[in-house]
């Protein structure tokens, strides 16, 4: 649809200049809200406000939902109060909640004041749920019917209230207290005898989310049961909203982005990369980077213990980066595998032993492979005697043994650290590649020089 | 729903032992297919085959779709040919395609032979599309109507064909050649005058995917337009299938998993972590690890150039791991940010300059911060004169300058490498933290010893 934008883009400028507003308005109404949002975002400030004002109210609310937080704030400042009140009341409750979370508190309060009592009450209820909970993600726009209604009555109800619902693929049956007792597909209604009752369609089996579940739970359940929507219940079993698959796809993507950023060794950004503020981005990176830098200073301390050995055999220093970083690389693989397997629910805390035994075996195999490569590198090197001295075979063995040790330790640390973090209630994704590498570097220095002391004593040491 | 399984789990054993098959069958029919699949997967081989045979055919096909590849193969071997033919013909085409992709070729051929000509033709068409394309992901089970039908006729059609459709939230309008001309919501039909025509509801605007689009495109479009399903067109504009949001959520998750594994410095696994074969997993890790190990050997070569400097001032070696790994950490942050921003479409190739200027500024800021910490670490260290000699301030400055250089270079390399990879047609996610760290380590050695040579010449060098 990008091509549509490019084709229509210049026209908007011309239509605005000639004040052919009716024509512009009809052109915009033929587009998808997401595309209209893109188009308006590409205009200059004054033009964008004028164009936005042309939109009919329901389209305006949809388009507004597609703007990013900055553009929304900008338009809130430019649009008159009356128009703003219409807009904010027309928005879908889940989109509105997201807006109120993202704008500064004083703007949020101003917007809340513009809501009708009914919409304000819906919004306040949603905002009362914990951040990142299913409650914040749900929308109260669904259709519910009673078991003793006839199909014809229920269809009448669906026709009346289905207009504003986010999906009418699924119709919910509730009891007199509003508790969910079944979920029925719209096709069941379409295919049923109009004189029959809703009850005749029911099997009283359904899958539901709890309102205070973590929103990642919604991702897992929607994927598990392949649904386009899931109902959300409060603790008494009362139906309070639905979560739709398209919102869940957004959440899954956001959660993966957060994990990837954490795994890269930083705090997760709140906004898309190019849109997040420079200072806040640097702060989110500086924190972990400083901690790791200070932690990495332990390598200098550890190496200080072996200064005598380095003085006697400078050749040892040459291979140090190679040895320790192979441990960091092996650890990075292990931690990435385990963190992701945990995030998608393939691995639970209780699987630690299965993971540990698998990773120790993998670490040993990989260590033998790399150690072998290292050994061959030294003993087959053309200028080996000049470069490494007459004891080059022993040096090669030192390299091989310490690579094996460091790679095995790296794999061990990388695979177990996410378990430790989760066990103590922290986010396993904080076991980033840089964190594991730093941990393994310090240990690697000790492993390497200890192996050297044992194998090279009496020759070059 | 896990609790339901645990509660029902033991019962199944008892019901099977007592051969109360009718009772077991009714109990299973009340559960969700995903839960029945879990329950059967938890039984012993013989019991699981017996239980599976009890299921009515449509439930059996649904349950079968939820098994993992290994369980599916196992059941294919245990279920009789006749039953298997029913099963495979009842499966949703998209689930069936996935099964045929995952089982060994001879099993796939056997299954294809069991399909009815109609289903075989559907499946062959889908299998003809490239792997990871929208064509492989789509299902041909949707409802389409003609513009000149009345609403009542269309509703009759929807009632007749909607039973097998994956969603009837959206009804597609096609012309006499099968080309898509509009998408209408079911609620529009429900609310319309039955005597009116389909045409009266149409706005002739729709969003569609192309059958040979990459499946990541489906993720982006579903998220962009917040749809529960999108139509798929071939090159002539003919409607050939639909992609639903729940399938797209699976794809988004798989793609993120693949990226995370690549970013951890390995090839992506094909199966969940604990289910992937040990040998294949080790192979997928050994490849990159060996390449990086060999690449990292360049650090030994680079350090060989500065062997004289290390001999004269062993203290330089002590800080080497600290310096080079700070570059690797900074690079890991930058590459993770950029790879993910590319994957979700926030950053395109043409944004390279915006990213570069942002990252150079970030790298300099972070480098100044870390360099400052390093300088303070040396000049405020209690035993600084004993540990680092009388020229400890110059040593601290060397540390600070080279940290600044290495962090800036790491940030630069980490942010630009994904662009380079994508530009030459490779997967940007291959710019893993270990890859960037290795690249930066080699450069870091050169930066560090060059800074030392300039700042310390005439004092300790």
CA distances in angstroms from A190 to A173, A270, B191, listed in the order given: 16, 44, 13
Work out whether strand B144-146 and strand B170-174 pair parallel, antiparallel, or are unpaired. Answer: parallel
What pLDDT sits at residue A74?
82
Looking at the partner chain, which of A273, A373, A377 has a beta carbon nearest the beta carbon of B337?
A273
Q: Under a CB-based contact definition with an 8 Å cutoff, are residues B95 and B119 in contact?
A: no
Q: Which residue of A has its CA nearest to B306?
A: A318
- Looking at the structure of chain B, the number of domains it has is 3
Distance CA B400, CA A221 (A): 51
A315, part of any domain: yes
Using an 8 Å CB-CB cutoff, list chain A residues near B203.
30
> Which two structure tokens, joined as six digits, stand for B155?
């509703």
- pLDDT band at residue B9 under the 50/70/90 scheme: low
Q: Is the pLDDT of residue B281 over 60?
A: yes
Using an 8 Å CB-CB cutoff, list chain B residues near A294.
373
Q: Which residue of A has its CA nearest to B207?
A: A1
What pLDDT sits at residue B4?
47
Q: Do B336 and A263 touch (CB under 8 A)?
A: yes
Using an 8 Å CB-CB cutoff, list chain B residues near A349.
none
Q: Do B328 and A32 touch (CB under 8 A)?
A: no
List the CATH number of the domain containing B174. Answer: 3.10.580.10
Q: Under a CB-based contact definition with an 8 Å cutoff, are residues A285 and B407 in contact?
A: no
Q: Which residue of B has its CA nearest to A267?
A: B333
What's the whole-number mean pLDDT along residues A127-134?
A: 86
Q: Under a CB-based contact definition with an 8 Å cutoff, are residues A401 and A232 in contact?
A: no
Q: Quick one: residue A206, left, alpha or beta (phi over 0 = left, psi -120 to 50 = alpha)? A: beta
Tell me the pLDDT tens digit for each residue of B436-456: 999 999 999 999 999 999 998
- pLDDT band at residue B1 under the 50/70/90 scheme: very low
Work out whether strand B170-174 and strand B180-185 pair parallel, antiparallel, or are unpaired. Answer: antiparallel
Work out whether strand A170-174 and strand A144-146 pair parallel, antiparallel, or are unpaired. Answer: parallel
What pLDDT sits at residue B290?
92
Closest approach of chain A CAs to the CA of B214, in angstroms? 16
Q: Do A433 and B438 touch (CB under 8 A)?
A: no
- pLDDT band at residue A33 under the 50/70/90 scheme: confident
List the CATH number of the domain containing B422. Answer: 1.10.357.20
Q: Which of A256, A276, A309 to mutate to test the interface with B (most CBs of B within 10 A)?
A: A256
What pLDDT sits at residue A373?
94
Q: Which of B37, B340, B349, B389 to mutate to test the interface with A (most CBs of A within 10 A)?
A: B340
Q: Under a CB-based contact definition with an 8 Å cutoff, are residues B299 and B327 in contact?
A: no
Tell me the pLDDT tens digit for each residue of B37-81: 888 888 887 788 888 888 888 888 888 888 887 788 888 888 888
Distance CA A7, CA A27 (A): 12
Do A346 and A287 share a domain, yes or no?
yes
Distance CA A271, CA A278 (A): 11
Q: Do B264 and A332 touch (CB under 8 A)?
A: yes
Do B238 and B196 share a domain, yes or no?
yes
Q: Do A250 and B223 touch (CB under 8 A)?
A: yes
Average pLDDT, chain A: 87
Distance CA A196, CA B316 (A): 87
Looking at the partner chain, which of B163, B167, B320 has a beta carbon nearest the beta carbon of A169?
B167
Distance CA B129, CA B137 (A): 10
What pLDDT sits at residue A136?
87
Distance CA A129, CA A143 (A): 22
Domain end, chosen from A226, A244, A262, is at A244
What pLDDT sits at residue B10?
52
Distance CA B70, CA B85 (A): 19
Tell me the percentage of chain B whose pLDDT exceeds 90. Answer: 37
Classified as helix, coil or strand, A440 is helix
- pLDDT band at residue A357 under the 50/70/90 scheme: very high
**Which residues are registered as beta bridge partners of B144?**
B172
What pLDDT sits at residue B402?
95
B313, part of any domain: yes
A261, part of any domain: no
Helix B392-423, helix B433-456: angle, nearest 10: 150
In which residue are the tokens 């430790």 written?
A: A420
Using an 8 Å CB-CB cutoff, list chain B residues near A264.
263, 332-333, 335-337, 433
Tell me the pLDDT tens digit for each residue of A173-186: 999 999 999 999 88
Classified as helix, coil or strand, A19 is coil
B427 is in which domain, residue-wise? 273-456
Q: Is the pLDDT of residue B3 over 60?
A: no
- pLDDT band at residue A10 under the 50/70/90 scheme: low
Do A107 and A215 share a domain, yes or no?
no
Using an 8 Å CB-CB cutoff, list chain A residues near B319.
300
Do B347 and B377 share a domain, yes or no?
yes
Q: Under a CB-based contact definition with an 8 Å cutoff, are residues A225 and A207 in contact?
A: yes
Q: Do A321 and B219 touch (CB under 8 A)?
A: no
Q: Do A207 and B32 touch (CB under 8 A)?
A: yes
Q: Is the pLDDT of residue B5 over 70?
A: no
Tell me the pLDDT tens digit for each residue of B387-408: 788 888 999 999 999 999 999 9
Distance CA B53, CA B79 (A): 8
Using an 8 Å CB-CB cutoff, list chain B residues near A314.
307, 310-311, 314, 317
Q: Do A245 and B246 touch (CB under 8 A)?
A: yes
Looking at the partner chain, which of A168, A223, A244 has a beta carbon nearest the beta carbon of B187?
A168
> Which two structure tokens, joined as six digits, stand for B77?
């071997």
Q: Which residue of A has its CA nearest to B444?
A: A321
What pLDDT sits at residue B130?
86
Alpha helix (H) ranges present in B67-183? 69-78, 81-90, 93-102, 105-114, 117-128, 134-137, 151-161
What's the whole-number mean pLDDT along residues A22-42?
A: 85
Question: Greater confidence, B308 or B79?
Answer: B308
> Which two structure tokens, joined as six digits, stand for A373?
């490569």
Q: Do A320 and B320 touch (CB under 8 A)?
A: yes
Q: Give the dihedral of Cα atoms B204, B210, B211, B213; nearest 10 deg.
A: -160
Q: Under a CB-based contact definition with an 8 Å cutoff, are residues A107 and A76 in contact?
A: yes
Tell me the pLDDT tens digit for each residue of A212-224: 998 888 888 888 8
Domain end, chosen from A103, A128, A153, is at A128
B157, part of any domain: yes
Tell me the pLDDT tens digit for each residue of B184-212: 988 888 888 889 999 999 988 889 999 99
Work out whether strand B229-233 and strand B209-210 pair parallel, antiparallel, or are unpaired. Answer: parallel
Do B159 and B224 share a domain, yes or no?
yes
Do B438 and B293 share a domain, yes or no?
yes
Burial B55-78 (b: 16+ CB within 10 A, else e): beeebbbbbbbbbebebbbbbbeb
Q: Do A249 and B223 touch (CB under 8 A)?
A: yes
List the CATH number of the domain containing A87. Answer: 1.25.60.10
Distance CA B185, CA A50 (A): 31
Distance CA B389, CA A223 (A): 63
Do B21 and B165 share a domain, yes or no?
no
A173, part of any domain: yes
Q: Under a CB-based contact definition with an 8 Å cutoff, are residues B235 and B221 in contact?
A: no
What pLDDT sits at residue A5?
46
Using an 8 Å CB-CB cutoff, list chain A residues near B434.
325, 328-329, 332-333, 433
Do A211 and A353 share a domain, yes or no?
no
Closest approach of chain B CAs to the CA of A429, in angstroms? 11
Its pTM stands at: 0.80
A304, part of any domain: yes
Tell me the pLDDT tens digit for each residue of A389-430: 888 899 999 999 999 999 999 999 999 999 999 999 898 998
Tell me the pLDDT tens digit for each residue of B75-103: 888 888 888 888 888 888 888 888 888 78
Tell me the pLDDT tens digit for each residue of A430-442: 888 899 999 999 9
Separation of first and last alpha carbons in chain B? 70
Looking at the partner chain, which of A260, A335, A346 has a beta carbon nearest the beta carbon of B336?
A260
What's the whole-number mean pLDDT along residues A150-156?
A: 90
B394, part of any domain: yes
Using an 8 Å CB-CB cutoff, list chain A residues near B437.
325, 328-329, 433, 437
Average pLDDT, chain B: 87
Residues 6+ apart with CB under 8 A from A216: A251, A255, A343
Using an 8 Å CB-CB cutoff, list chain B residues near A270.
none
Q: Under a CB-based contact definition with an 8 Å cutoff, are residues B32 and A221 in contact?
A: no
What pLDDT sits at residue A1?
41
Tell me the pLDDT tens digit for each residue of B338-377: 999 998 888 999 999 999 999 999 999 999 999 999 999 8
The number of CA neighbours under 13 Å toward the Cβ of B382 is: 0
Q: Do A432 and B318 touch (CB under 8 A)?
A: no
Q: Do A223 and B332 touch (CB under 8 A)?
A: no
Q: Do A289 and B329 touch (CB under 8 A)?
A: yes
Which DSSP letter does residue B214 get? B
> Minimal CA–CA distance to A359: which of A409, A412, A405?
A412
DSSP string, A118-177: HHHHHHHHHHTSPTTBHHHH-BS---EEETTSBHHHHHHHHHHHTTS-S--SEEEEE-TT
Closest approach of chain A CAs to the CA of B119, in angstroms? 22
Domain end, chosen from B211, B246, B281, is at B246
- pLDDT band at residue A8 under the 50/70/90 scheme: low
Looking at the partner chain, which of A227, A346, A373 has a beta carbon nearest the beta carbon of B290?
A373
DSSP string, B407-420: HHHHHHHHHHHHHH
Q: Give the dihedral of Cα atoms A60, A63, A67, A69; nearest 10 deg.
A: 50
Question: Greater confidence, A306 or B45?
Answer: A306
Closest approach of chain A CAs to the CA of B196, in angstroms? 17
Residues 6+ apart with CB under 8 A from A132: A214, A215
Closest approach of chain B CAs to the CA of A100, in angstroms? 20
CA B342 distance to own-chain centroid:
13
Do A298 and A236 share a domain, yes or no?
no
Tell me the pLDDT tens digit for each residue of B208-250: 999 999 888 888 888 888 788 899 999 899 999 999 887 887 8
Do A353 and A280 share a domain, yes or no?
yes
Distance CA B234, CA B211 (A): 5
Q: Which residue of A has its CA nearest to B253?
A: A252
Neighbours of A382 (CB within 10 A): 7
Do A117 and A149 share a domain, yes or no?
no
Phi, psi of A303 (to 5 degrees): -70, -30
Tell me the pLDDT tens digit for each residue of A257-296: 999 999 888 899 888 888 888 999 999 999 999 999 999 9
Residue B80 belongs to what H/E stretch? Answer: none
Q: What is the interface size between A and B, counted as CB pairs within 8 Å?
A: 386
Q: Under a CB-based contact definition with an 8 Å cutoff, are residues B227 and B209 in contact?
A: no
> Minimal CA–CA distance to A184: which of A205, A211, A161, A163?
A205
Q: Is the pLDDT of residue A457 over 50?
A: yes
A286, part of any domain: yes
Do B403 and B359 share a domain, yes or no?
yes
Looking at the partner chain, which of B31, B167, B282 has a beta carbon nearest the beta carbon of A366?
B282
Q: Give the dihedral of Cα atoms A313, A318, A322, A324; nearest 10 deg.
A: 50
Rg over CA atoms, chain A:
31
Using an 8 Å CB-CB cutoff, list chain B residues near A377.
297
CA B222 distance to own-chain centroid:
16
């Amino acid at each position: 649809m990008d091509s549509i934008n490019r084709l229509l883009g210049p026209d908007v400028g011309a239509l605005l200049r000639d004040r052919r507003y009716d024509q512009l308005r009809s052109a915009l109404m033929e587009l998808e809200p997401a595309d209209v949002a893109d188009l308006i975002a590409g205009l200059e400030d004054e033009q964008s406000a004028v164009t936005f004002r042309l939109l009919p109210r329901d389209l305006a609310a949809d388009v507004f939902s597609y703007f990013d937080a900055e553009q929304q704030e900008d338009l809130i400042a430019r649009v008159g109060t009356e128009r703003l009140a219409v807009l904010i009341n027309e928005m879908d409750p889940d989109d509105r909640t997201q807006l109120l979370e993202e704008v500064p508190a004083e703007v949020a309060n101003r917007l809340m004041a513009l809501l009708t009592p009914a919409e304000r009450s819906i919004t306040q209820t949603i905002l009362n749920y914990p951040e990142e909970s299913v409650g914040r993600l749900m929308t109260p726009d669904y259709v519910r019917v009673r078991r003793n209604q006839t199909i014809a009555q229920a269809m009448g109800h669906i026709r009346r209230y289905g207009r504003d619902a986010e999906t009418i693929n699924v119709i919910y049956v509730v009891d007199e207290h509003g508790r969910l007792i079944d979920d029925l597909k719209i096709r069941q209604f379409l295919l049923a005898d109009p004189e029959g009752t809703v009850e005749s369609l029911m099997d009283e089996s359904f899958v539901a989310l709890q309102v205070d579940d973590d929103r990642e739970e919604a991702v897992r359940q929607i994927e598990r049961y392949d649904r386009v929507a899931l109902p959300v219940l409060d603790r008494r079993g009362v139906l309070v909203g639905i979560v739709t698959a398209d919102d869940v796809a957004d959440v899954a993507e956001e959660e993966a982005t957060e994990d990837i950023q954490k795994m890269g060794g930083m705090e997760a950004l709140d906004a898309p990369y190019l849109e997040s503020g420079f200072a806040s981005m640097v702060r989110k990176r500086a924190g972990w980077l400083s901690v790791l830098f200070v932690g990495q200073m332990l390598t200098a301390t550890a190496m200080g213990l072996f200064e005598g050995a380095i003085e006697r055999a400078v050749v040892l220093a040459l291979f140090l980066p190679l040895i320790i970083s192979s441990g960091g690389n092996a650890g990075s693989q292990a931690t990435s595998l385990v963190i992701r397997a945990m995030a998608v629910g393939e691995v639970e805390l209780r699987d630690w032993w299965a993971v540990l035994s698998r990773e120790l075996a993998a670490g040993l195999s990989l260590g033998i492979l790399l150690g072998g490569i290292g050994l061959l590198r030294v003993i087959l090197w053309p200028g080996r005697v000049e470069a490494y001295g007459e004891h080059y075979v022993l040096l090669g063995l030192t390299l091989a043994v310490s690579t094996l040790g460091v790679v095995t330790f790296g794999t061990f640390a990388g695979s177990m650290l996410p378990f430790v973090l989760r066990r103590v209630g922290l986010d396993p994704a904080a076991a980033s590649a840089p964190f594991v590498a730093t941990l393994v570097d310090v240990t690697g220095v000790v492993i390497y020089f200890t192996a050297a002391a044992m194998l090279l004593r009496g020759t070059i040491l």
